[in-house]
């Protein structure tokens, strides 16, 4: 049944005497290109994306991505709310690792205000960010397993993620949309005994992670489906603007936490895994390794952090504590001004970037000196990867599109803002 076109398999492996080469004696029957719409509602496209693929048999010849189905007007809504009211909006950007969005935005505002947060707040931000990074990577590994049919993996990953979420619920009050950071610090301190519980949770997550690693990394089917798939070269990746695990998979060792350390990343010891091939398997391996490194970071931070203030003691930026609000006139005034008019951020513009789970999450803020942002621009880490998706999948099979699409960790919230 094999004709000249549409023979599955990697062309490079076709040897001289194999059946595929003998097809040169057959009369080629040109087949028509089929356009397949992997529409916005599709089990494999996380969130909503429309990928229109043009197929030649099963080989992808062209792909066009259409986004915007989850565009909720983040930037416009933020222009009409105060600086602090933006935090719940940022939660819903990358909703799988929302604390990192909160912290990224808080750092950007603090850059404009020239504020330095207290030490304990920095440690709390890093601990919660890394816990959410663990959740994000677990979700991704689980989703990749799920898409490829290894459904056990997603159940394990979700179990581990749930344990981390329990700790985060105790810390910030919500599993997913944490709304934890504030301008100048964080909202809540760790509850009693949280540190010990978190260490135990990390131990349990480590067990699950090692089990997932053992099940997947040397799994013949998994490796075959991921190795050599969705390859992008280092130069191309940089040209497109890749950042994060997808860039490091190509061999470029760029990590914002090492290149431009913020918060307490210069005080903790961790490695940054870098891949070589730029394919999907490397991206998966990097994420598993980052799970281990995040674990290290959280343990070190829990050991290093000292008790102290969790928010800057400047009532122009942080709400005064309730005894002062109810007891002193200055407290009432500060609270009222902040609630009604918003924190007055000095006029100017700033671009601040952090290492989110997917890459460089940037916030470009413009302030006109008032209580509401003039402009908030979010740099979604996944946009460059989506731009490059057609070139990563051209010439490959349709079935290869799914692991490539998974490995870039497309989270609809941040892409579509």
Q: How far is the CB of 288 from other proteins (least distance, A)?
A: 25
Under rule CB under 8 A, residue 52 binds other proteins: yes
417 binding other proteins? (CB under 8 A): yes
Q: Which stretch binds other proteins (CB under 8 A): 10-18, 51-59, 172-180, 189-197?
A: 51-59
Contact between 95 and other proteins per CB under 8 A: no
Is 416 near other proteins (CB under 8 A)?
A: yes
Instruction: Identify the sign of the CA torsion 139, 145, 149, 152.
Output: negative
Task: Provide the 8-state DSSP code for 87.
Answer: H
DSSP run (H or E) holding 348: strand 348-355
Cα dist. 399→30, 126, 330, 382, 394 in Å?
22, 38, 64, 21, 12
> Within 10 Å of residue 192's Cβ, how many Cβ atoms?
8
Per CB under 8 A, 80 contacts other proteins: yes
Q: Name the one range near other proteins by CB under 8 A: 204-212, 286-294, 300-308, 360-368.
A: 360-368
Rounded to whole angstroms, the Cα distance separating 246 from 174 reads 29
The reply to whether 366 sits near other proteins by the rule CB under 8 A is: yes
Residue-level length of the chain: 417
Instruction: Tell me: does residue 4 bind other proteins (CB under 8 A).
Output: no
58 binds other proteins (CB under 8 A): no
In DSSP notation, 107-167 reads: HHHHHHHT----HHHHHHHHHHHHHHHHHHHHHHHHHHHHHTT-HHHHHHHHHHHHHHHHH
CA distance 282 to 355: 19
Question: Smallest gap, in angstroms, from Cβ of residue 120 to other proteins?
Answer: 23
Single out the segment in contact with other proteins by CB under 8 A; choices: 90-98, 128-136, 157-165, 348-356.
348-356
Binds other proteins by CB under 8 A, chosen from 73, 149, 173, 308: 73
Residue 302 CB, nearest approach to other proteins (Å): 29
Rounded CA gap, 222 and 281, in Å?
A: 9
Residues near other proteins (CB under 8 A): 33, 35, 37, 52-54, 62-64, 67-68, 71, 73, 75-77, 80, 111-112, 114, 236, 238-243, 252, 254, 259-260, 348-353, 360, 362, 364, 366, 374-375, 377, 379, 383-384, 386-388, 416-417
């Amino acid at each position: 049944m094999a004709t000249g076109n549409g023979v599955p398999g990697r062309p490079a492996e076709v040897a001289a005497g194999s059946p595929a080469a003998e097809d040169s004696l057959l009369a080629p029957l040109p087949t028509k290109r089929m356009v397949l719409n992997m529409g916005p509602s599709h089990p494999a496209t996380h969130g909503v994306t429309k990928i229109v693929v043009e197929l030649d048999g099963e080989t992808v010849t062209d792909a066009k991505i259409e986004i915007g189905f989850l565009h909720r007007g983040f930037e416009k809504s933020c222009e009409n709310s105060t600086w602090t009211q933006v935090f719940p909006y940022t939660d819903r950007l990358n909703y799988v690792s929302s604390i990192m969005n909160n912290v990224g935005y808080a750092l950007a505002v603090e850059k404009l205000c020239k504020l330095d947060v207290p030490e304990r707040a920095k440690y709390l931000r890093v601990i919660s960010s890394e816990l959410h990074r663990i959740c994000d990577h677990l979700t991704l590994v689980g989703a990749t397993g799920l898409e490829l049919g290894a459904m056990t993996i997603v159940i394990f990953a979700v179990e581990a993620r749930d344990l981390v979420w329990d700790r985060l619920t105790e810390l910030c009050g919500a599993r997913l949309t944490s709304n934890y950071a504030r301008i100048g610090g964080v909202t809540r301190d760790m509850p009693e005994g949280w540190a010990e519980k978190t260490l135990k949770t990390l131990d349990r997550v480590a067990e699950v992670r090692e089990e997932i690693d053992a099940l997947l990394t040397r799994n013949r089917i998994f490796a075959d489906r991921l190795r050599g798939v969705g390859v992008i070269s280092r130069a191309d990746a940089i040209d497109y603007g890749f950042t994060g695990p997808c860039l490091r998979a190509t061999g470029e060792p760029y990590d914002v936490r090492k290149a431009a350390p913020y918060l307490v990343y210069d005080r903790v010891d961790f490695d940054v895994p870098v891949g070589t091939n730029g394919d999907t398997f490397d991206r998966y391996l990097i994420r598993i390794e980052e799970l281990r490194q995040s674990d290290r970071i959280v343990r070190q931070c829990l050991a290093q952090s000292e008790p102290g203030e969790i928010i800057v003691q400047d009532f122009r930026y942080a709400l005064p504590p309730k005894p002062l609000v109810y007891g002193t006139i200055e407290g009432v005034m500060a609270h009222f001004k902040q609630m009604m008019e918003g924190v007055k951020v000095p006029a100017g513009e700033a671009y601040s970037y952090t290492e989110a789970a997917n890459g460089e999450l940037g916030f470009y803020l413009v302030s006109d000196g008032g209580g509401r942002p003039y402009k908030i621009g979010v740099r979604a880490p996944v946009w460059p990867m989506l731009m490059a998706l057609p070139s990563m999948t051209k010439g490959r099979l349709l079935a290869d599109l799914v692991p490539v699409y998974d490995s870039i960790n497309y989270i609809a919230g941040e892409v579509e803002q």
